[in-house]
Structure 1
Amino acid sequence: MNIFAQIFGYLLGLIYGVVNDYGIAIILFTLITKSLLMPFTIKQLRSQKAMAAIQPKMKEIQEKYKDNKEKQNQMLVELYKEHKYNPLSGCLPLLIQFPIIIGLFTAMRQPGEYVFVNNPELLAKATEQTFLWIGNLSVPDLMSNIFSSGPVWFLALPGLMPIISSALTYFQMSSMNSATGGTDAVNNQMKIMQIIFPVMILFWGKTMSAGLILYWTVGSIFQIVQQYIMKRPAKGDVN
């Protein structure tokens, strides 16, 4: 994963050198990296939509041949061939993206090691720049960034950026679930994750840097727009 962290850290450093604003640099960096990953994401979404399209026929086969697994598998394979669907096509994009995403998070989490290499002065200047209501992108965005006084427990709660990111993650997953369909068991699991994952994002907001949460927030907006476009009816989605 280190090589990906070095590559993306170098890219973020280049962008910052042009705009001289760490918050704007993170936004541009997010848009660039999401655009690079777009072909894999589109392939994954198309695979999920194709699975949803043949799901009724799959259920029929599974029910009809529930006592004959060999025949069931044979009929499913024929169904996949008929619709030119590869069950592994939805997994491969995830496997390709995984090391890239880890590298991105590593670079964002350790900007001193991967973004502003051997340049502590530039690191301090960049991460301590004010962005919107956030006074320092290198530390978590807490309620203390918005409220100057109040109970200690309240000021230590995740701030506005983690709340926005959590809400966007919820809507992103909701949009993805409604677009892909699936079995009842899969749908129930996705609904559970739709609740758990945004809560995790909110919880991480207490410890992750505001810069990393900003990256996740912008990325969620990008993916929501992408999913909205992909949801529009188009010929050849199944194929």
Structure 2
Amino acid sequence: MGEAFGLIIVRPLGLILLAIFKAVGSYGLAVILFALLVKLICIPLAIKGKKSMLAMSALNAELQQLQKKYANNRVKLNDEMQKLYDKHGVNPMSGCLPQFIPLPIMMGLYYAVQQPLKFMMGFSDEVIAKLANEVGVDIATAGYYGQITIAEKLGDMFQSAGNVWPEAITKITDGMGELLNIDFHFLGLNLAQTPSITDPGFIWIIPILSGATAFLSSYVMQKMQNMPSNAAAGQMKMLNLLMPLMSLYFGFILPGAIGIYWIFNNVFSCVQEIILTKYLRGKREKKEAEEAARIEAAKEAKRIANREAQRQQSLEAKKKKGDK
């Protein structure tokens, strides 16, 4: 991981996660609220993507006509489809972008979870090395989750000392960062643990739910969007098939905290999809109904004006005939 990515992306995410954790006192709940916060921040982009998808659905009839007309000329079909999109100001791929946004955030959260001493508490590598030595962890051989192991052992020391930090630990960390006792357990699961496909256990519930909720999210999206049958829709459907498999895979190679984040990201996505679709579709239908009513009113006004003009002409004709 580059220093710039750590400084610009991971550290701010770690601070946000830390702030939520300090507010609620539960690591698992903090991860869930973090996922909700990300979803709320991304709502403007989600609305833009949803509007584009609804606009695509409105063009479905015209797109099908183009597909029939240019069934044997793929190049011409793509050109005409692009002209249709440009005419109505539609970007067929803008609806896919909101699905990719959680991925870099998940990467940043991964490092914040993997290295809580550095990215949540703000300790330097030197301080972390001293803490590792104090709790008996060989940082050089501890592997990817060495900092989690150190944090867990620090938590054990904190509890053993009567919920206070031993003097040796405070001497190392005083003024160097914000030392906190993080309990990684949530609903009987150790969120610092990475589920192993070769070691079945209750923690398997995390990758299983991750894949299941991703499938549910894809299903809800397809049902709500009423996608037109074109190349962009095919790409979207392929993406919706891949997401559950990716979620299941991530669930088995990343710490449980990332799986919890992904599960609730999927759940919040389902709720957001249903609410935004109903709201924006209702708003669009209301606008179309008002426009249709305006056009009909204009036609009626024109008909009334024509009848009045004909009546005036008839009166003038009768008057002229009477004068004669």
- 2:39 is matched with 34
Pick from 200, 218, 230 the counterpart of residue 276 of structure 2: 230
Q: Is the 8 A contact 1:158 1:206 kept in 2?
A: no
In the alignment, which residue of structure 1 is the partner of 2:210? Answer: 165
* Residue correspondence of structure 1 range 19-168 to structure 2 within 5 A: 19-65=24-70, 67=73, 69=75, 73=79, 75-87=80-92, 89-90=94-95, 99-118=104-123, 123-124=151-152, 125=155, 128-134=183-189, 136-141=190-195, 153=198, 155=200, 159-168=204-213
Single out whichever of 14-23 and 213-222 deviates more from structure 2: 14-23
Structure 1 residue ranges without an equivalent (≥5): 144-152
SS in 1 for 2:284: coil
Distance 2:96 2:238 in 1: 21
Aligned positions, number? 228
The letter for the 2-side match of 1:159 is: W
CA contact (8 A) 2:93 2:232 kept: no
- Deviation for aligned residue 1:223: 0.6
SS in 2 for 1:235: helix
> Matches of 1:81 and 1:108 in 2, distance apart?
44
Match of 1:183 among 229, 234, 239: 229
For CA contacts below 8 A with separation 6 or more, give which structure has more relative contact order.
Answer: 1
- Aligned mates of 1:191, 1:90 — CA distance in 2: 12
Write the distance in 1 (CA, Å) between the matches of 2:73 and 2:204: 54
Identify if the C-alpha distance between structure 1 residues 68 and 33 changes in structure 2 by more than 3 Å, giving closer, same or farther: closer
- Check 1:171–1:98 CA distance in 2 against 1; reply closer, same or farther (3 A cut): closer
Amino acid at match of 1:228: I
| Structure 1 position 24, deviation (Å) | 1.4
SS in 1 for 2:53: helix
Distance 1:206 1:184 in 2: 34
Q: Quote how far apart the aligned CAs of 1:163 are.
A: 1.3
Structure 2 match to 1:6: 11
AA at the equivalent of 1:212 = I
TM-score, normalising length from structure 1? 0.76
8 Å contact from structure 2 (residues 14, 109) kept in 1:
yes
Root mean square deviation of aligned Cα:
3.5
Q: CA deviation at 1:154?
A: 5.8
2:253 corresponds to 1:198 = no
Give the drift of 1:168: 0.7
Partner of 2:306: none
Unaligned runs of 5+ in 2: 132-149, 156-180, 289-324
What amino acid does structure 1 have at the position aligned with 2:250?
W
Q: Name the CA distance, whole Å, in 2 between partners of 1:96 and 1:192.
A: 18
* Counterparts of 1:172 and 1:92, CA distance in 2: 15
| SS of match in other structure, 1:61 | helix
Query: What SS does the aligned partner of 2:188 have?
Result: coil
Q: State percent identity of aligned pairs.
A: 29
Pick which of 229-238 and 117-126 moved more: 117-126
Greater displacement, 184-193 / 57-66: 184-193
Alignment check: 8 A CA contact 2:96 2:236 kept? no
- Residue aligned with 1:33, SS: helix
Tell me by how many angstroms 1:161 deviates.
1.9
What is the TM-score when the length of structure 2 is the normalising length?
Answer: 0.58
Asked if structure 1 preserves the Cα contact closer than 8 Å seen for 2:39 and 2:265, the reply is yes
Once residues 68 and 205 of structure 1 are traced to their aligned partners in structure 2, the CA distance between those partners, rounded to angstroms, is: 40
Residue range with higher mean Cα deviation, 62-71 or 197-206: 62-71
